[in-house]
Amino acid sequence: MLLCALNIFDNCMLKTLSCGGKILDLNQPQVMGILNVTPDSFSDGGIFLSVESAVAQARRMADEGAAIIDVGGESTRPGAAAVTSWQEMDRVLPVIEAIHRELPVIISIDTSKPEIMRAAVAAGAGMINDVRALREEGALQAAVRCAVPVCLMHMQGEPRSMQQAPHYDDVVAQVKAFLAGSIAVCVAAGIPREQLIIDPGFGFGKALGHNLRLFKYLDMFQEIGLPMLVGVSRKSMISAVLGHPVEQRLPASIALAALVVWQGAMIIRAHDVQATADAVNMIWAVKQQN
């Protein structure tokens, strides 16, 4: 049985999540491996288009310590072209089916489309990771029917235009309020609160200053009382500070992963699983000391 870990307290008791028959044990932070089966993702687009290469990468990430493999069939980078539901389905379903058949790892589907959610869960996905927080028409109802854990992410605007002058009066307060509102909507619709995960959405409709402020005050999101997912791997905010191209962003990605674990993040979404898992486990070992 696969155990993947987070850490949340609700009524002083640790919880677990059932992810399509696999147990997500809420005990310590873990890594979610990114598997983009797209031609145009900013870091790994075009590398894992075949089922064979995608499954090989999933196996490699699982061996390196990934508890979850996050499969995405549509790039959400600024300026990326939209894809139809059929295109997205053709990309992700054979990969999900193959990973589900061959590996014991939990599979997450990175999508906002309700029809993809339903098909992916039927194919073996045990989690929904939605950058639009179930705001697309029919997505909320699909998530209720799928009955798997859902990650709700904050995003201001839409992926293709989100970085065009984003504005906040108080980014921390506004992102927290959005997530709290999204949680309330989900619970009212019939998704149990204990099946929800939150993601502040670094780089999604946020300028560099907004991202840095979220990093500084990330521990405040623990007040929501749900496990927090953070994805900052190789993102352009690193270039904005350091000037590095995407292939030189690993050290900074690791530094940010360590920072967010210290501040309470329990799922770290990453391209470089081994290095990230090592950093996460070292930070966690220190954090557990009295």
- Taking each helix axis from N to C end, the angle separating 51-64 and 273-287, rounded to the nearest 10 degrees, works out to 30
User: pLDDT digit of tens for each residue in the chain (290 aa)?
Assistant: 344 433 333 433 347 889 989 998 878 898 999 999 987 555 555 677 899 999 999 999 999 999 999 999 998 876 667 889 999 999 999 999 999 999 999 999 999 999 999 999 999 999 999 999 999 999 999 999 999 999 999 998 776 665 677 889 999 999 999 999 999 999 999 999 999 999 999 999 999 999 999 999 999 999 999 999 999 999 999 999 999 999 999 999 999 999 999 999 999 999 999 999 999 999 999 999 98
Q: Given phi > 0 = left and psi -120 to 50 = alpha, else beta, which region is 165?
A: left
The residues that bridge with 153 in the sheet, in sequence order, are 199
Q: Which CATH architecture has domain 3-287?
A: Alpha-Beta Barrel (3.20)
> CA-based angle 54:111:37, to the nearest 5?
20
Rounded to the nearest 5°, which phi and psi values hold at 254?
-65, -40
Give the span between the Cα atoms of 230 and 257, in whole angstroms. 8
Give the span between the Cα atoms of 130 and 133, in whole angstroms. 5
List the one residue out of 101, 8, 83 whose CA is nearest residue 40: 83
pLDDT at 5: 36
pLDDT at 43: 56
Domain boundaries, the chain: 3-287
* Active site residues per annotation: 235, 269
pLDDT at 24: 83
* pTM of the model as a whole: 0.91
Q: Where are the beta strands (DSSP E) in 122-266?
A: 127-130, 150-153, 196-199, 229-231
